[in-house]
Amino acid sequence: MPKRKSTHAAEPEPEQATRRRSSRLSKDVEPTEKVMAPIKEEKPKSVFTGKKGGRKPAAIKEEDEDEEKKMESQQPPTKRSRTTTNPTKPTPSPSQPPTTTNTTTRQYWLLKAEPLPRFENGHDVHFSIDDLASRTSPEPWDGIRNYSARNNLRSMRRGDLAFFYHSNCANPGIVGVMEIVREAEEDWTAVDPKAAYFDPKAKKAKEDGKENPWSLVHVEFREKFERELGLKELREWGKGGGPLEGMELLRMGRLSVCRVGEGEWEFLMEKAGGRTGR
């Protein structure tokens, strides 16, 4: 960045002083002619610059403004200029690690689990909000074998919040809140023949040097609602013109990992008397 120009311009020594010096007579020397009165020379009109340093001549001010405009035209465009040209991203100094700013906002989700006993590959896969509340470490949310649901898992970020939804039971609905504490990673249960949701195709892919297609995230319990929000009630709010009209849960009923809009989240938290993140 160019250095700021000084607002003090060196003024030439007025000729008035020179004439005064030349008109002085040596001591005891009679003047041979009448000494002319010094001529007062008018200084250039000063203009206030608005900067520290007071005033400076108008002519110099105009030259400085022209020079500053020239320098500004050579600067790379900034965000405020709203130009389509992208300035080159500066390379961080080797002695100073690059810094990143997380500009993403919190996202909201809904994850389904079955609170009643059901067996898969010899394992009881039931899991309720109370089971999550009893965990003393982050719980892996595994067993997702649908690509749309998996993609939603991969879109989650640490700090996102999710509704815990009891499904495949007498009174399905939203029963509490959990937080995403670790982002998506490989779901190792997919390649374990002894696991509940073992996937032979995923195991073969790993053996062939390919990627395991399934992912999981880790969650932690945050709260259990005193007032559960049942599916019947959710459907009423999801009717045409209702606050949940476009809710993914109601549009894609079989999807086990759903997005929740911010407005939908706030509405449901208000109805349930929820406190998390508020």
What counts of helices (H) and strands (E) characterise the chain?
Answer: 8, 10
Instruction: State the Cα–Cα distance between residues 5 and 151, nearest whole angstrom.
Output: 56
Q: Tell me, what's the pLDDT at 79?
A: 38
Q: Tell me, what's the pLDDT at 42?
A: 55
Q: Tell me, what's the pLDDT at 38?
A: 54
Compute mean pLDDT per 10 residues along the chain, 278 residues long, and list them: 44 44 44 49 51 49 52 40 34 35 75 97 97 98 98 98 98 98 98 97 96 98 97 96 96 96 97 91
Q: Tell me, what's the pLDDT at 277?
A: 84
Contact call for residues 215 and 198 (beta carbons, < 8 A): no
Q: Enumerate residues 6+ apart whose C-beta is below 8 A from 84.
A: none
Q: Tell me, what's the pLDDT at 35?
A: 45
Instruction: State the Cα–Cα distance between residues 114 and 196, nearest whole angstrom.
Output: 14
